[in-house]
Amino acid sequence: MTVPNPPADSGPVAIICGGGSFPFTVADALMKSGRGAVLFALRGFADPDRVTGYPHHWAHVTQLGRFLRLARREGCRDVIFIGTLVRPSFRQLVNFDLATLRVLPGAIRHFYGGDNHLLTGMARMLEDHGFRLLGAHEVAPEILVPEGALGQVAPAPRDLDDIHYGLEVLRAIGPFDVGQGVVVANRHVIAVEAAEGTDQMLTRVGELRQSKRFRAPPGIGVLVKAPKSGQDWRFDLPSIGPRTIEGIIEAGLAGLAVKAGGSIIAEPQIVVEKADRAGVFVAGFPETPGGSA
Amino acid sequence: MTVPNPPADSGPVAIICGGGSFPFTVADALMKSGRGAVLFALRGFADPDRVTGYPHHWAHVTQLGRFLRLARREGCRDVIFIGTLVRPSFRQLVNFDLATLRVLPGAIRHFYGGDNHLLTGMARMLEDHGFRLLGAHEVAPEILVPEGALGQVAPAPRDLDDIHYGLEVLRAIGPFDVGQGVVVANRHVIAVEAAEGTDQMLTRVGELRQSKRFRAPPGIGVLVKAPKSGQDWRFDLPSIGPRTIEGIIEAGLAGLAVKAGGSIIAEPQIVVEKADRAGVFVAGFPETPGGSA
């Protein structure tokens, strides 16, 4: 079934809403811009207290038919998917509706093929039903991290050197769909993020510091995050928020650098306040820092 | 001060002995071959109970002069450095002797420059004093992992595919002096080793499995270890031992693969027994598995 693309930017945006605060940051931006949003809150993932502040429906991850029906009725054409979605256990997979059962064999294959495959399959399915899957940054570009220092603290020359080195590491592992983050201190790679995620990696760095396996004095070392090469920005842009800054502080790092225009930030004012108070930097770096290719 | 190279293979080998069981595996091999060994056990690192079974002297890491004097008196010319040596805290740095104080400024610079720099500096200093620093694999080649499966379990085709993928990842990060290990499941990178070391990485993989962030069924996934590119084999070859197999089992992996002829194994019979009992494989892979360049 092929449906012609709907006109761009019509109707409120359907936000398929996982955990964390990002869905609400994006919804706020859409409300402010006048476009509007309807949350499709995923049971077990979305924050129930915060969902009630927005137009919303609840759905199980297994209720694709329900989503398609309600999104159409709400006049949504554009869909974004945002928020954490730790893969559901089989016990959470209840209340399958017919539309879900139809795509299930493919979905299961995607599910075990890694996130990108799962979500690429979801995107294709939504398009088959006349919707358009966009990235959160396309409907709310103000959530993208801008270039330069966000707060009052700027990276020192040594930090810039570590950022550059971290970027080279991320570029080298980019083709392998590994993580999006790396911690570097004095051009020494302290930690590489894979399935554990950024927060857990920062906890590890703090522990390595406590156990003296990572001995550079506090205030030395940076977290660098960048999108994986070939990553589909509609699903999974590197993201930072207040929790990331807490992790940076606990790990004793000098700050964090993310790709400007290629990373999203939740609750930026809280991020900047926390960072300024602790004296750590938060910076967006351009595509090629230092002007190198 | 330049001293001509002493004749090769003369006298017992001086083993500067850090933590873990590797120093004793090497000492056993040297005793068996008739060459002999003298342990220079580093206080706070070497296992006191096991050291007593060999000709030995105790020394602080700060007693370079003491080492040089005693090693000469024992008729040692070849020196190897083996065993874990978590970087000492400043409080452990007591009893500096004169020879150490002479090289201290350089040593401190090496110390914060990363392990390879530290040890390269040590090697140069030993050579300046007429000794020759060798790799453990050069004096006891029987501790090197051979090619093929070591026990009764061989890697399945899927495992070989994951091994190959893991090797590509290690090759990509090789230039950055990151870790020597990676865990891959279904061509998905689950964990990359950096400062935390292999054992802690395997613990993390087990936790990721328990928290369902890594969902491939138990028995899927491999640990791959290979020397870093440009790594000085005299100091730091990838190593495995009984503890590694325990980690593999706890992480629910299918097995582990290390570079044949480029990795050392402690207590091989215990490793193979444990692996066979748990049904996991231990394999040495050739330089270019699958014949690729």
Rounded-to-integer distance, Cα A69 and Cα A77, Å: 12
Cβ distance of A172 and B177 shorter than 8 Å: no
Q: According to the model, what pLDDT value does residue A287 have?
A: 64
Q: According to the model, what pLDDT value does residue A67 have?
A: 86
Q: According to the model, what pLDDT value does residue B40 have?
A: 93
List b or e across B8-38, with b for residues whose CB sees 16 or more CB atoms inside 10 angstroms. eeebbbbbbbbebbbbbbbbbbbeeeebbbb
First to last CA, chain B: 44
- Cβ of B84: how many Cβ atoms within 10 Å? 13
ipTM over 0.90: no
Q: What is the CA radius of gyration of chain B?
A: 20
Residues in chain A predicted with pLDDT less than 50, given as ranges, are 1-6, 87-91, 108-114, 289-293
Nearest to B138 by CA among B13, B281, B276: B13
Q: What are A264's two structure tokens?
A: 């999203």
Mean of pLDDT values over B71-75: 93
Return the residue of A nearest to B86 by Cα.
A213
Query: What DSSP line would sit under A82-146, residue for residue?
Result: ESB-PPPPGGG-----HHHHHHHHHHHHHHHT-HHHHHHHHHHHHHHTT-EEE-HHHH-GGGBPP
Q: According to the model, what pLDDT value does residue B3 have?
A: 43
Return the residue of A nearest to B189 by Cα.
A178
3-state secondary structure A80-92: EEECECCCCCHHH
First to last CA, chain A: 44
What is the number of helices (H) and of strands (E) in chain B? 10, 13
Q: According to the model, what pLDDT value does residue B252 have?
A: 96
Which of A145-154, B24-33, B101-110 shows the lowest mean pLDDT across its residues? B101-110
The pTM assigned to this predicted structure is: 0.78
- A72-101 residues touching B, CB cutoff 8 A: 86-87, 89
pLDDT higher than 60, residue B119? yes
What is the number of helices (H) and of strands (E) in chain A? 10, 13
User: How big is the A-B interface in CB pairs under 8 Å?
Assistant: 102
Query: What DSSP line would sit under B23-81, residue for residue?
Result: HHHHHHHHHHTT--EEEEEETTTS-HHHHTTSSEEEE-TT-HHHHHHHHHHTT--EEEE
Kindly report the average pLDDT of chain B as a whole number.
Answer: 83
Q: According to the model, what pLDDT value does residue A290 have?
A: 41
Q: According to the model, what pLDDT value does residue A291 have?
A: 37
More confident site: B235 or B147: B147
Cβ distance of A195 and B178 shorter than 8 Å: no
Kindly report the average pLDDT of chain A as a whole number.
Answer: 83
Q: According to the model, what pLDDT value does residue A112 have?
A: 44
More confident site: B103 or A76: A76
Measured in whole angstroms, the distance separating CA A153 from the mean position of its chain's CA atoms is 24
pLDDT higher than 70, residue B45? yes
Q: According to the model, what pLDDT value does residue B177 have?
A: 76
Q: According to the model, what pLDDT value does residue A148 have?
A: 93
